[in-house]
Amino acid sequence: MVLSGDVKDPQGRMLAPAGQEISPKLIRVFKIWGIGEVPVRADAEEEPGKAEERAIPIEIREKADEITRYRFQYNDLNDPFIYELFQASYLEKARKINKTPDAQDISLPEPDEADALQDGRRKKTRKIDAEQLIHKTIRLGTIPDVYYKTIAAINNPEASLDDIALIVSKDMTLSAKVLQLVNSSFYSLRQKVDTLTWALALIGTNQLMTIVSGVSAVSFFKKIPSRFINMVSFWEHSIACGTAARLLSSYFPERIEQERFFVAGLLHDIGRLIMVQNLSGEYYELLRDARSEEIFLFAAEAKRFGLDHSEIGAQLASLWNLPESLCQMIRCHHFPGHAGAFHENAVINLADIIVNALEIGNSGEFFVPVIEPGVTRELGLDRHMIVPVISEIDYQLADIFEIIYKTVE
Ligand SMILES: [Fe+2]
Ligand SMILES: [Fe+2]
């Protein structure tokens, strides 16, 4: 089937242009996203984005193709799903280079202070202790009390919505963010919500946990800057991954708790901040080695330190009393088949890959990770969902980034 007209979300934002191929499953997902009628015709095919692509100079397209192929080198481009993602990634790269020629520079940026690298020139392998690193980092800041109180109230079956609202209302930043998020593109509600009690009644306690965990984690780590990682870019990657995971979860046959996926996506690479924080110059050396040896950064971490950022992140999430299933999603985001629920882990795995492919922010990984066998089949995904999902990530990201990251003091 082919779209006979544009598909737009309730706010009028383009999700899929006329001429794009579409599947019955995608029509169902559009319905979940609040789109009533999807205009479809069953004949002529026209590939989306072709006219825009032709308008970009050939040498720029060739450069974008070369860089994208290099970044996708571990992926099988014969897989229709991967190929669609590759195409989207290549077109995005071509657009970026066309706008800013600097976008073709793929070299690793130098850290602010070169002398900070001297502690990086150490022996090539040494075991690190996740618990020790986590404790060293969390001693540097404090998680606000309201976080523990809210999570405890959410987990207490005796606590009412009013009890939870009372705890949240004592924190001005948190109350403001709850209202901002409820009124953002994240929920696309038709009416404006202006009281906390109404907001909580609408979004429920699980969604509240999203906001509380997100705001707390970001504000905690924002106070611990690093010279070796661009924090804005790191959180852009993380927030985009959470947004993508939440969107992908709507492809499940049954409606499930989407907010858990957002938090898992948001925190999936948090262990990397702990590694960078503690290993500084040594971690930069690792970034450099991974790039020159053309291997994944998570693989380089495991090779050098005996464990990678996903294990450290999962242990931190567990220390922060997040649910076990969420800790598993963080632990298994590169290898969804390793433990826990495959479907749930696979959503984070795929969200991370999409965000990496599109270069939305960056958490240090240069090569596009490989989708583990069975992920797209098990999730029942087809290639037609790539373009609308990317478009919706793009649309929601600006709002969510503003709420979660920008205004955190
Ligand atoms: Fe990761
Ligand atoms: Fe990631």
Dist. CA 157 → ligand 2 center (Å): 34
Residues with CB under 5 A from ligand 2 (ion): 269, 352, 363
Helix spans in 249-341 (H)? 258-267, 270-292, 297-305, 309-319, 324-331
Dist. CA 107 → ligand 2 center (Å): 19
In DSSP terms, which residues pair with 41 in a beta bridge? 2
Dist. CA 363 → ligand 1 center (Å): 8
Q: Which amino acid is residue 90, in one-letter code?
A: Y
Nearest ligand to residue 331 Cα: 1
Dist. CA 267 → ligand 1 center (Å): 10
| Predicted local distance difference test score (pLDDT) of residue 402 | 85
Dist. CA 359 → ligand 1 center (Å): 14
Dist. CA 166 → ligand 1 center (Å): 36
Nearest ligand to residue 355 Cα: 2
Please list the pLDDT of the chain residue by residue as tens digits (409 residues): 778 788 887 777 778 888 777 777 787 788 777 777 788 775 544 555 677 788 889 999 999 999 999 999 999 999 888 999 999 999 999 999 999 888 888 888 777 665 556 555 565 778 888 888 888 887 777 777 888 888 888 878 888 888 888 888 888 888 888 888 888 887 777 788 888 888 888 888 777 877 788 888 888 887 776 777 888 899 999 999 999 998 888 776 665 677 788 889 999 999 999 998 888 788 888 998 999 999 999 999 999 999 999 999 999 998 887 888 889 999 999 998 888 788 888 899 999 999 999 999 998 999 999 988 778 887 778 888 888 889 889 888 888 888 888 765 5
Q: Does domain 122-140+224-406 have CATH number 3.30.1340.10?
A: no
- Residue by residue, DSSP assigns 69-132 as HHHTTTS-TTSHHHHHHHHHHHHHHHHHHHH-GGGG--SPPPPS-GGGGGGG-S-S-----HHH
Nearest ligand to residue 298 Cα: 1
Dist. CA 311 → ligand 2 center (Å): 13
User: In terms of Cα–Cα distance, which of 141, 198, 202 is closest to 169?
Assistant: 198
Q: Count Cα atoms within 13 angstroms, Cβ side, for 227.
A: 13
Q: Helix axis angle, 196-222 relative to 270-292, nearest 10°?
A: 50
Burial class (CB in 10 A: 0-12, 13-18, 19+), 4: middle
Dist. CA 375 → ligand 2 center (Å): 17
Dist. CA 364 → ligand 1 center (Å): 9
Q: Distance (Å, rounded) from C-alpha 343 to C-alpha 403?
A: 29
Tokens at residue 80, please? Answer: 């229709």
Domain ranges in the chain are 2-101, 122-140+224-406
Is there a contact between 265 and 397 (Cβ–Cβ < 8 Å)?
A: no
Residues with CB under 5 A from ligand 1 (ion): 269
